[in-house]
Amino acid sequence: MVHARQLGIIAGPENDFFARALDTLDVPLADRTDPELLEPTRGFVELMDDARRSADYPSCLAVLLVAEWLYLEWATRPEEEPPEEPLQAEWIALHSGRAFTAWVEFLRAEFDRVCAGIEPAHRERVQALFVRAVDLELAFFDAAYA
């Protein structure tokens, strides 16, 4: 149920936001459908695809948790003034608040729950995915600001 609700948000309000943002920024269709990806982005897409193809729930959770948790942390920095730019403010609204916080808390609890009972070798593989996801997210943001 929780996964389905979040999928509805991604397919609805979040997708609508990105479509409007790309329109506002005049991003050409070719860059939307076949963008040139920097290495960290390619790596993260491959990591997500590998987790998905594995059909291993803990692996999928590991990759998803990293991305969503980082977005929550970025969007809920109380020491920062909210941006005046409408697209930035809307992105923050999508990735903060009670609903998104509850989603990330669910992912964290679910990850802890499913990983508690897995074999050590499986746990090491999932841990490696989690660490790789963190490394790729950091590289993504470093590349964006380089």
Tens-of-pLDDT digits for all 146 residues of the chain?
665 555 445 545 777 888 888 999 999 999 989 999 999 999 999 999 999 999 999 999 999 999 999 999 988 987 878 889 998 998 888 888 898 899 999 999 999 999 999 999 999 999 999 999 999 999 998 988 87
Query: What is the per-residue pLDDT for 83?
Result: 87
pLDDT at residue 8, rounded to an integer? 47
The tokens describing 118, both together, are 């897995």
CATH code at 37-144: 1.20.910.10
Burial class (CB in 10 A: 0-12, 13-18, 19+), 60: buried
> Quick one: pLDDT at residue 75?
87
Instruction: Return the residue matching tokens 């070719």.
Output: 30
SS3 at position 52: helix
pLDDT given at position 5: 57
Domain locations in the chain as residue ranges = 37-144
Q: What is the pLDDT of residue 110?
A: 94
Report which of 116, 73, 65 is spatially closest to residue 95, judged by C-alpha positions.
73
Q: How far apart are CA 118 and CA 57, in angstroms?
A: 11
DSSP 8-state class, residue 120? H
